[in-house]
Amino acid sequence: MARDPGRVLIFDTTLRDGEQSPGASLNLEEKLAIAQQLARLGVDIIEAGFPFASPGDFSAVQRIAEVVGGVDGPIICGLARAARGDIKACADAVAPAANRRIHTFIATSDIHLEHKLRKTRSEVLAITSEMVAYARSLVDDVEFSCEDAGRSDPEFMNQVIEAAIAAGATTINIPDTVGYATPAEFGELIAGINANVPNIDQAVISVHGHNDLGLAVANFLEAVKNGARQLECTINGIGERAGNASLEELVMALHVRRSYFNPFLGLPADSTKPLTGVRTEEITKTSRLVSNLTGMAVQPNKAIVGANAFAHESGIHQDGVLKNRLTYEIIDARTVGLADNRISLGKLSGRSAFRSRLEDLGYSLEREDLDDAFARFKELADRKREISDRDLEAIVSEQVQQQAEPRFSLKSVQVSCGSNLQPTATVTLTTSDGAEITEVSIGTGPVDAVCQALNRLARVPNELVEFSVKSVTEGIDAMGDVTIRLRHQGVLYSGHAADTDIVVAAAQAFVNALNRLIAGTAAQPLHPQRTPLPALGDLPLAERPRV
């Protein structure tokens, strides 16, 4: 059995793998807000990014390490390919954290070796030993991953794992990179590693998996039964393609079915010891924060955090729940922090009370951003009788989404439309140099007219691939939350905004997406899995693996 930390460690990769969801890129302030909430949630490790990818990624990881990586905070981790430049950048980025980790990886499946890496098995073994040893010379905590483990030859992969541990890896991660495994297969894979890697007792076994077949959570729970003690997951299950294993589903499965999983962790079935360190009452808050900042709505029937997760429509179910909630509910909604909070803030409330409530919701804004958000709050309070936490989340998530130096700012939007009128929009933008530009456009509807006017002003080719609007809260005076995704050269850029006027919200969301598009086209960051390692001949002699 692998080295056992005494419970299941939760490794959150929302800010790294989750951000690789199409259109879900986050700016520094958004990443920091999520990292601070993840710390409140009680995750053990935050994978904050891929520092070598771009200067922006490096700065974000470094800032998170500074602000969130205190002595009592979570381990701050960065991802690095098994290359000296990646590993050095990662070490520098996580350096401010009291508890820091380098997570390095290389593929071990023959299909990746042949078509992506173009390396032999002996070369991969040598690179693993050398690069893990180099990472260990920079930090005490090194995680090593066998990319595409699910399709790797088990005998060769076990050799790579043994070499990584011998070189200093303290955690071994087994990823189902393409979401191909079934629970029984994945459990057998973990059991085989425990049985056949001689030095596996010197490392924690971790698992990472994608949800292409909808089996990621089931695979992880089977892995726990077979000795895995770290789970790599994301909030709301976001991530590439069909996403990652969902943190909230994993944590609550281990919480609700504790008596079932206890024996697999060497505990009596009736033990009440928590199996993770997560504060479950922070789950709903964290889910909403990530959804708001990424613009990725949570499906209503999503387990644990979906809008319908605790709703009962059937008369029989309603009757049973009214008599005793346990008749049709296995989770008390309060356990995951679900509450209908109505706050007493109004137009007479002061800045201190406003800031305090935002901090409770997981936001910490700099003075200028706080001033802008407070002004939005006051404006909303004049138009809306009751303001809920969801309203505040919508206001502030839009505020922190703003680019540091936006190319365009929305100054005004005006539309005329009706059953006998041709929808017409007049839009005025302020450019980064202070100039004002105005355009008038006709469309099939008011939102179409606004978008056409904005495209004429921005003069950046793009394709609108998603426009969605949802009500933030109930009531005729509710704010409408708009998400827009634009495609440019195969890359998606998202923007979202909220306002009681959905046309205004649509205009602001479109401007936010345009600003992200313009900023993103300046330099596309590297992708950790899709960007191959440097060719051996391109490496300095000192960096070439010794075979």
Q: What CATH number corresponds to the domain at position 244?
A: 3.20.20.70
The distance of Cα 413 from the centroid of its chain, to the nearest Å, equals 33
Same domain, 211 and 70: yes
Final residue belonging to a domain, choices 294, 325, 345: 294
Starting at the edge strand found earlier in the chain, the sheet holding 436-442 runs 408-418, 421-431, 436-442
Q: Residue 510 and residue 95: Cα distance in Å, rounded?
A: 37
Q: What is the pLDDT of residue 539?
A: 44
Q: Which two tokens stand for residue 289?
A: 């924060």
| Judgement on whether residues 278 and 412 belong to the same structural domain of the protein | no
Structure tokens at 404: 């540091």
Q: What pLDDT was estimated at residue 344?
A: 57
The answer to whether residue 542 sits within a structural domain is no
Q: Which two tokens stand for residue 433?
A: 């140099």
Range of 454's domain?
408-520
> Contact, 293 vs 30, CB < 8 A?
yes
What pLDDT, on the 0 to 100 scale, is given for residue 346?
Answer: 67
Q: Residue 392 and residue 252: Cα distance in Å, rounded?
A: 27
Sign of CA dihedral 455, 460, 461, 463: negative
What CATH number is attached to the domain comprising 451?
A: 3.30.160.270
Residue 322: the pLDDT is 46
* Residue 524 tokens, joined: 């596309």
Question: Is residue 150 domain-resident?
Answer: yes
Is 378 among the domain residues?
no
Q: Which amino acid is it at 58?
A: F
502-520 vs 446-458: helix crossing angle, rounded to 10: 30
Q: How far apart are CA 251 and CA 257, in angstroms?
A: 10
Phi-psi region of 243 (alpha: psi -120 to 50; beta: other; left: phi over 0): left
- Contact in structure between 227 and 190 (CB atoms under 8 Å): yes
Same domain, 54 and 186: yes
User: For residue 500, is it within any domain?
Assistant: yes
Instruction: Give the count of beta carbons closer than 10 Å to the beta carbon of residue 308.
Output: 11
48: its two tokens: 């904050």
The answer to whether residue 250 sits within a structural domain is yes
Structure tokens of 270? 């009736």
Is residue 361 assigned to a domain?
no
Pairing of the two strands 171-176 and 142-147: parallel
Q: Yes or no: say if 169 and 132 are a contact pair by the CB < 8 Å rule.
A: yes
Helices (H) and strands (E) in the chain, counts: 17, 14
Res 272: pLDDT: 96
Predicted pLDDT at 363: 75
Residue 310: predicted pLDDT: 78
Q: What is the pLDDT of residue 534?
A: 63
* pLDDT score of 326: 55
In a domain, residue 422? The reply is yes
- Give, for all 547 residues of the chain, the pLDDT tens digit: 447 888 999 999 999 998 888 777 788 888 999 999 999 999 999 999 999 998 989 999 999 999 999 999 999 999 999 999 999 999 999 999 999 999 999 999 999 999 888 899 999 999 999 999 999 999 999 999 999 998 999 999 999 999 999 999 999 999 999 999 999 999 999 999 999 999 999 999 999 999 999 999 999 999 999 999 999 999 999 999 999 999 999 999 999 999 999 999 999 999 999 999 999 999 999 998 999 888 888 998 999 998 888 764 444 444 444 445 555 567 888 898 876 544 556 666 778 888 888 887 777 777 777 888 888 888 888 877 777 787 888 887 777 666 667 899 999 999 999 988 999 999 999 999 999 999 999 999 999 999 999 999 999 999 999 898 988 877 777 888 899 999 998 888 888 888 889 999 999 999 999 998 988 765 567 888 788 776 543 444 344 433 3
Phi, psi of 408 (to 5 degrees): -130, 145
In a domain, 329, yes or no: no
**What would the DSSP string read from start to end of 395-423?**
HHHHHHHS-SS-SEEEEEEEEEEETTEEE
| Number of domains the chain is built from | 2
- Kind plus residue range of the DSSP H or E element containing 232: strand 230-233
Domain boundary among 262, 294, 326: 294
How far apart are alpha carbons 176 and 147 in whole angstroms? Answer: 8
CB atoms within 10 A of CB 153: 12
User: What is the edge-to-edge ordering of all strands in the sheet holding 480-488?
Assistant: 463-471, 480-488, 491-499
- Please tell me the distance from the alpha carbon of residue 394 to that of residue 286, in angstroms, as a whole number: 14
Please say whether the beta carbons of 206 and 143 come within 8 A.
yes
Q: Is 447 exposed, middle or buried (0-12, 13-18, 19+ CB in 10 A)?
A: buried
